[in-house]
């Protein structure tokens, strides 16, 4: 049985997807195998698909790998010497990582604003929200 994924596990899988070679086929089964190989984490396709961050990263990379994105078309039309191809690939991976993290950050900010609005509607003040969490000893 696959274990529940921690935030670290989810981040690791997203980073693995960021580094996925654009000339290699991407499937959920291949991703499960890569996660098992790279992180010694036994999981299933279903467990990975449940995580929104992983699913979004997978879909973005899948579109790039399958050639269904504008970046993929531009990459196919670009002919570089081998000395520059490695640098271009590395730059592309960094750009994918940045784009994924910016999108994640925007979604988290939207969620935060929703929570803040709902909290104030229920009479919770910002000061109450900013109170530090209780430690186990204080309980």
Q: Give the residue-averaged pLDDT of 110-137.
A: 90
Q: Model confidence at 23, in pLDDT bands (50, 70, 90)?
A: confident
Q: What is the mean pLDDT of residues 101-122?
A: 93
Residue 76 domain-assigned (yes or no): yes
Q: Is the pLDDT of residue 137 over 80?
A: no
**Looking at the predicted structure, is the pLDDT value of residue 12 above 80?**
yes
131 domain-assigned: no
Using pLDDT thresholds of 50, 70 and 90, give the confidence band for residue 14: very high
| Position 137 in a domain | no
In a domain, 129, yes or no: no
Average pLDDT, the chain: 87
25-82 tens-digit pLDDT: 999 999 999 999 999 999 999 999 999 999 999 999 998 888 766 665 565 556 778 8
Residues of the domain holding 13: 7-123
For residue 71, being part of any structural domain is answered with: yes
Q: What is the CA radius of gyration of the chain?
A: 20
Angle at the Cα of 34 (from 32 to 39), degrees rounded to 5? 100
> What total number of domains does the chain contain?
1
Classify residue 108: in a domain, yes or no.
yes
Which residues, other chains included, contact 78 with Cβ-Cβ below 8 Å and sequence gap of 6+? Answer: 88
Does any domain span residue 20? yes
Examine residue 11 and state whether it is found in any structural domain, yes or no. yes
- Cα 123 from Cα 18, distance rounded (Å): 42
């Amino acid at each position: 049985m696959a274990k529940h994924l921690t935030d670290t596990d989810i981040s690791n899988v997203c980073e693995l997807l960021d580094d996925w070679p654009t000339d290699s086929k991407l499937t959920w089964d291949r991703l499960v195998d890569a996660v098992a190989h790279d992180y010694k984490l036994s999981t299933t396709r279903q467990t990975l698909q449940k995580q929104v961050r992983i699913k979004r990263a997978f879909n973005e990379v899948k579109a790039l790998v399958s050639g269904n994105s504008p970046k993929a078309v531009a990459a196919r039309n670009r002919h570089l010497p081998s000395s520059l191809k490695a640098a271009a690939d590395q730059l592309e991976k960094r750009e994918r990582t940045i784009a994924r993290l910016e999108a994640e950050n925007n979604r988290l900010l939207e969620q935060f604003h929703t929570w803040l609005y709902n909290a104030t509607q229920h009479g919770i003040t910002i000061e109450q929200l900013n109170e530090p969490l209780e430690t186990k000893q204080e309980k």
